[in-house]
Structure 1
């Protein structure tokens, strides 16, 4: 039954990802909004909903390593696994003021966790500050949307608002259902092998809840919508730290195990800086770099077991 859950979850995630990309691109064209902005907000935050549900549930159940590992591990997987897989399918090329701003926010959010983790707990005050920073970022993004480079999404036909919202809502619903099936099955299988809560959170749960982002970015890459693909990753990483960790800590303070400050958080900061450098200093992220990032993720998984 656990393996059936995993199979159903994967199917739901890819079907939901296709619907989400269709709706988001159609909505972007109808409202004359940059596809990158849509990817950063509607798609990026929407596909992070499974992480929010899982982290809150884990914190309330008294398994903080799963709650924290889910956030940190998801951000690492978003960069190395998702961007790597997306670049293998279609080179990623996005530029513009919006990208510079939002990659800076992503890196700043990751660095903000260093003093918080050093205290040994993500308390309610820290959680409230993180969430307040998210609200401030959203207001800033709304008031100064910036410009993205021309993208193939600009060639996509506009979609009637009700139809686009139906695709978006249906896609998100299927994504959440698929993520729940996948995580339920994957965690049960992992526990049968005697893996630690931190490792389960950083890998099995993190990848499971990141599969909506993977599905969405891969579908976007297949459709040559690179702005949606990369905006989805950056927006999700921002939301994971400021929104998910913030809300979870307000509901239930999260103790921080030493391994997160000593190993996993530095890796998360490092890959965030890597993604920023690749997007801002190179014309595109090609297939060779994508393969290297996937290799880096495999190395992280091996090292995380220690």
Structure 2
């Protein structure tokens, strides 16, 4: 019973804390006059990726490298199949050419770099440093290239009337909840894996990945319903780039992380293929329809089913 409460408490901490982080960061972004796409990719994408960051670093320091790498790969797969699928099922949305050509290609490139680094067997500190530098360059490029497209204050949902002080408080409280939630979730996941003789990679790819992706799910679905497709899509695109190069980079800098053969040969190539599928889907039709959303959700169901059988 205590183990179940620990895992549920970790999920709730990540969900509530991630939501507060997103709202606070979005409010600050509005004050700076950023466009919806930049808010989605840079601010919201970063805010919703904090649970993955904290969870991966905590797992790596605790010696659970399988959960650390599995969480990143599983989160990126869940972002595309589960989150964009659910958002499109709620409300079909179009995507701008700008988002596809720029951020979509960067998502594929980051996934390929992640796969190449993982193929060596260990994500070392040199790789981590390179990834962090690339992430900083990506953020600078994104903000500068989109500066002229900055939207009005009303273009970003759910932050109207939020003062700067309240935004900062939301970020601080959100970060505390995320830290506590990650602690409980990782501890509970490790104990569960050992109790049922399930590999850390499977736990990271499924339970932990879905748990840390809840903020992205909530944000993208709400953005789609409120007719802000660029925030919904930008959230997923930004989160996947953060996960692949940012979170993996910081985690590897803190402590080098070994990558299992299963992750290198099965799950990471699958992550790359799904990233390509997303960009091709959006680039050809310029929109994600309901039937495409249902297809993405069905694919995620198959993926989880296969992971459960492998456990």
TM-score, normalised with respect to structure 2: 0.86
Report the Cα offset of residue 20 of structure 1.
4.6
Taking the TM superposition and a 5 Å limit, the aligned residue runs for 1:116-135 are 116-135=117-136
Report the Cα offset of residue 259 of structure 1.
1.2
Query: How many angstroms apart in 1 are the aligned matches of 2:156 and 2:201?
Result: 44
Query: How many angstroms apart in 2 are the aligned matches of 1:153 and 1:90?
Result: 21
User: Which of residues 263, 286, 290 in structure 1 aligns to 2:293?
Assistant: 290
2:307 is the alignment partner of 1:299: no
Query: How many angstroms apart in 1 are the aligned matches of 2:165 and 2:65?
Result: 40
Report the Cα offset of residue 69 of structure 1.
0.8
Query: How many angstroms apart in 2 are the aligned matches of 1:292 and 1:214?
Result: 17
State the Cα deviation string for residues 44-87 of structure 1 (Å, max 9, x = none).
Answer: 11221221222222222322222111111111111111111122
Counterpart contact for 1:179–1:208, Cα < 8 Å: no
**For the structure 1 residues 74 and 86, does the alpha-carbon distance in structure 2 shift closer, same or farther, using more than 3 Å as the test?**
same
**For the structure 1 residues 287 and 149, does the alpha-carbon distance in structure 2 shift closer, same or farther, using more than 3 Å as the test?**
farther
Report the count of equivalent residues: 306
Q: Partner of 1:232 in structure 2?
A: 235
State the Cα deviation string for residues 197-220 of structure 1 (Å, max 9, x = none).
Answer: 111111111112222222222333
SS in 1 for 2:287: coil
**For the structure 1 residues 24 and 125, does the alpha-carbon distance in structure 2 shift closer, same or farther, using more than 3 Å as the test?**
closer
Range with bigger deviation, 180-189 or 281-290: 180-189
Report the Cα offset of residue 303 of structure 1.
2.3
TM-score, normalised with respect to structure 1: 0.87
**For the structure 1 residues 67 and 21, does the alpha-carbon distance in structure 2 shift closer, same or farther, using more than 3 Å as the test?**
closer
Q: Partner of 2:93 in structure 1?
A: 92
User: Which of residues 195, 199, 204 in structure 2 aligns to 1:196?
Assistant: 199
In structure 1, stretches of 5+ residues that fail to align are: none
2:263 is the alignment partner of 1:257: no
SS in 2 for 1:194: coil
Query: How many angstroms apart in 2 are the aligned matches of 1:114 and 1:6?
Result: 30
User: Which of residues 216, 229, 247 in structure 2 aligns to 1:244?
Assistant: 247
Query: How many angstroms apart in 2 are the aligned matches of 1:176 and 1:88?
Result: 32
Counterpart contact for 2:70–2:202, Cα < 8 Å: yes
Report the Cα offset of residue 8 of structure 1.
3.6
Q: Partner of 1:104 in structure 2?
A: 105
Q: Partner of 1:51 in structure 2?
A: 52
Taking the TM superposition and a 5 Å limit, the aligned residue runs for 1:133-282 are 133-145=134-146, 154=155, 157=160, 159-282=162-285
Range with bigger deviation, 57-66 or 257-266: 57-66
In structure 2, stretches of 5+ residues that fail to align are: none
Counterpart contact for 1:74–1:207, Cα < 8 Å: yes
Superposition RMSD in Å: 2.8
